[in-house]
Amino acid sequence: MGIETYIDYLKNYDGPDVTFMEVCGSHTAAIAKSGITKVISPKIHLVSGPGCPVCVSPSGYVDRLIALARQPETTVCTFGDLLRIPGTSESLNEAKGSGASVEMVYSPMDVIALAKEHPDQTYVFGAVGFETTVPVYTVLMEQVESEGITNIQVLTALKVMPPVIRWLCDNGARIDGFIAPGHVSVISGSKHFEALSREYGIPFAVTGFSPKELVVGIYGLLRMWEQRQKLLAEGESLTKNFYPSVVTHDGNVIAQAKVEKYFEPGPAVWRGMGEIADSGLYLRKEYAALDAGSRGLDEDHKINKACRCDQVLMGKITSEECPLFGKVCSPLTPQGACMVSSEGSCYQRFLNR
């Protein structure tokens, strides 16, 4: 079938209203940029879930990074997006303006060079991310270990997808299907979502990021949803891989083994949602010396009481339904994390109205 056939099907869909959620920041951006919502039937609702790792990090994590950056002989290094996320009273960028030692880096490996150049300074890497990014941090760990570098630590806010998807299903987010994250699936494999789809009877479509891949993925999701009773009765899986060029059933087992070596699951707080069991990854006890205090950073403070980032992250409201959206809250004056990151749903909604 040509892409037009898929588009026509989605355009002419006239069944019950369905809500599909993507849980990947890159999908948030790709969907907004594709203009797909203006092409498909208004009965197909696309909502953004907690797919931006920066957006779901609680304020307690940012506060801890700032506290570290204010310690003598300590520099916090992290990615650009994290610099602007509001903590309880300020962001890392604001802290930097008043003397805290903060450096933006493009790769965790940049920290190695800094640490070697300044052996008397301790470098703390603010390591946020999902399954996709964690293997990169294990490469940093390996290098720190093998070269015996003693002045690098990490403060982690690492999270995994299945527990939060389960939490959403259990907590009243009425989702009919998930556009499963393509990048996460490269590492974890499409099998990552099979248990969830079986347990909740909800289809998962592992999908790529180009406009055409999105069309195919959403079409596949809709068809699975329409045929779910039949598929379930026949014992068919409701998880399908529509991104086979890079995603396999089992994922990248080498990367998975590295993650397993350094990290173990534990409870994590998601901004606006609270603590979710086993949804975080923490350095194992053997590597405690590398950890700058990542556990128990639970404080989750709202800078603007009216901010509804939490509802947006759960797909319960669209960005436009937040009373602050586009008024006091814009990319230049973000009131919540969803408006800060380029992967945040409010940021993308603002930019691609």
Partner 1 sequence: MVITMAHGSGGAATSELIDEIFAKAFDNTVLNEMEDSAVVEGSARIAMTTDSFVVTPLEYPGGDIGRLAVCGTVNDLLMRGATPKYLTCGYIIQEGTDVELLRRVATSMAETAREAGVTIVAGDTKVIEGNGGIMINTAGVGFVPEGLEISATRIQPGDVVLVSGNLGDHHATILGSRMNITNQIESDNAPLTDMVATLLAHKIPVHCMRDVTRGGLATVLKELSDSSKVTITLEEESLPVSPAVRDFCGLLGLDPLYMGNEGKMIVALPAEAAEEALQLLRGANYGADAVQIGVVTEGIDGHGDLLVRTAIGGMRQLDVLQGEGLPRIC
Site residues for partner 1 per CB under 8 A: 3, 7, 24-26, 29, 32-39, 53-54, 79-81, 84, 106-107, 128-130, 132-133, 183-184, 209, 211-212, 215, 330-332, 341-343, 347, 350-353
Q: How far is the CB of 29 from partner 1 (least distance, A)?
A: 7
The 3-class SS string of 162-212 reads HHHHHHHHHCCCCCCEEEECHHHHHHHCHHHHHHHHHHHCCCEEECCCCHH
Residue 221 makes CB contacts below 8 A (sequence gap 6+) with: 20, 177, 178, 179, 203, 204, 205, 207
Instruction: Find out whether 214 and 208 touch, Cβ atoms under 8 Å.
Output: yes
Report, in Å, the least distance between residue 177 CB and partner 1: 20
Which candidate, 23, 82, 15, 16, places its Cα nearest to that of 217?
Answer: 23
Q: Are 243 and 208 in contact (CB under 8 A)?
A: yes
Shortest distance (Å) from residue 115 CB to partner 1:
16
Q: How near is the Cβ of 216 to partner 1 at its closest, in Å?
A: 11
Residue 207 vs 341, nearer CB to partner 1 = 341
Report the alpha-carbon distance of residue 19 to residue 317 in Å, rounded.
12
Shortest Å, Cβ 312 to partner 1: 18
Give 26 or 241: the residue with its C-beta nearer to partner 1: 26
Nearer to partner 1 by Cβ, of 107 and 150: the residue is 107
What is the DSSP pairing of strand 152-159 with strand 263-270?
unpaired
The residue among 137 and 225 lying less far from partner 1, judged by its C-beta, is 137
User: Nearer Cβ to partner 1, position 90 or 110?
Assistant: 110
